[in-house]
Amino acid sequence: MAKALLDVLRVQRSARRPVWLMRQAGRYLPEYREVREKAGSFLGLCYDPGMATEVTLQPLRRFDLDAAIVFADILVVPHAMGCSLDFVEGEGPLLSTVRSAADMRVLHCDGKAWQFERVYETLQRVKAELAPHVALIGFCGAPWTVASYMIEGRASDRALALEVAEAAPKWFEDLVEQIIVISISYLVGQIRAGAEVVQIFDSWAGDLKPASRERWVHAPVRDVILGVRAVFPDFPVIVFARGLGSGHAGLAVATAANAVSIEQGQGLAEVLRAVPDGVVVQGNLAPEILAGGEDLLAKDTTRICSEVPMGHHIFNLGHGILPHTPPENLSALLRAVRLYDSGAP
């Protein structure tokens, strides 16, 4: 059976406008909170293939979505490289920091990590359970965003990481190179385990000045994609480089991604006009609107659908679902997309 997400990424006629949502598995679902509590910790959940499979599938049971995204985190990569990692309740991630050539010596990037094996097993289990029209998405963080967490050691304003990126010492170049190498092997492993599309998350791309973006966003993301496609030619890749504003088309050219995911507030039609032929856009409803009332939600969903034609658009948010989002709002969103595409008044 055809999968709408894969059809759109190949710019083939699709049965419908594919919809999936960043962080579609998560705290806004009571059944997620229940499993999360049983797991005890967020990382415990990520590394338990049985429970991770369950939470990956939960949103698919409630909503008619077109893709599942494997439940894991972008910080699995630094963990697999030898950084310590903990998720502290109410604080977010805490990692051991990498701030010098000496700190680099403890890292490894051979790609053979037990953490990765757990994620691969989750992908295999999820794949076996998916309905035939649902695509399976694998993912990793982009080198700049992952490196910024490794330098800062926590969610932050990235002041230190930005200073390092500007000064570009040799150890930072090496760090980015190591993240590229390990991300390629992690994504290749995910694809072997059943991922049909991969998304690369560069959540902090917008922080860098334009000249640094080419060096630390465009080039590393391009290298990761080239590495994946050296093993799986033409493999479909979505890049979410948040905050690039008018820079998404340049990113699409530089990386040869099949789709660019766009933050809220940026016109999708404008990006679609500017990207090379064959590239599609993903996005970009504001998570605050999904969390809010039904009227504005239906209006904004319809506006987004009318901006870009069905075959060139993957419906998604501009960023992840907020934890206080009422689950029934996702049903309202899906109704609004399907109603728009059916041409009903």
Identified binder of ligand CP3 from the candidate list 40, 82, 92, 169, rule CB under 6 A: 92
Q: Which of residues 130-159 bind ligand CP3 (CB under 6 A)?
A: 139, 155
CB of 36 or CB of 79, closer to ligand CP3: 36
304 binds ligand CP3 (CB under 6 A): no
257 binds ligand CP3 (CB under 6 A): no
Closest listed residue to residue 70, CA positions, set 230, 160, 189: 189
338 binds ligand CP3 (CB under 6 A): no
Decide if 273 is catalytic: no
Q: Which residue is nearest to ligand CP3 (CB)?
A: 203
Pick the catalytic residue from 28, 47, 149, 186: 149
Distance CA 265, CA 176 (A): 30
CB of 37 or CB of 295, closer to ligand CP3: 37
The two tokens of residue 127 are 């794949």
Q: Which of residues 169-228 bind ligand CP3 (CB under 6 A)?
A: 201, 203
- Going from the C-alpha of 155 to that of each of 19, 85, 89, 149, 302, the distances in angstroms are 29, 12, 13, 7, 34
Decide if 73 is catalytic: yes
| Residue 201, beta-bridge partner list | 141, 240
Q: Which residues contact residue 52 at a Cβ distance below 8 angstroms, ignoring those fewer than 6 apart? A: 45, 46, 70, 71, 72, 118, 119, 122
Decide if 215 is catalytic: no
The two tokens of residue 273 are 């006009």
Decide if 186 is catalytic: no
Q: In this chain, which stretch among 87-95, 114-122, 266-274, 326-334 interacts with ligand CP3, using CB under 6 A?
A: 87-95
| Residue 260, beta-bridge partner list | 239, 281
Distance CA 314, CA 304 (A): 11
* Residue pair 260/251 in contact by the 8 Å Cβ criterion: yes
Q: Which of residues 19-78 bind ligand CP3 (CB under 6 A)?
A: 22-27, 36, 42, 69, 71, 73-75
Decide if 36 is catalytic: yes
Strands (E), 112-254: 135-141, 197-202, 237-241
Question: Would you please indicate which residues are annotated as catalytic (active-site) residues?
Answer: 23, 27, 36, 73, 149
Q: Which residues bind ligand CP3 (CB under 6 A)?
A: 22-27, 36, 42, 69, 71, 73-75, 87, 92-93, 139, 155, 201, 203, 320
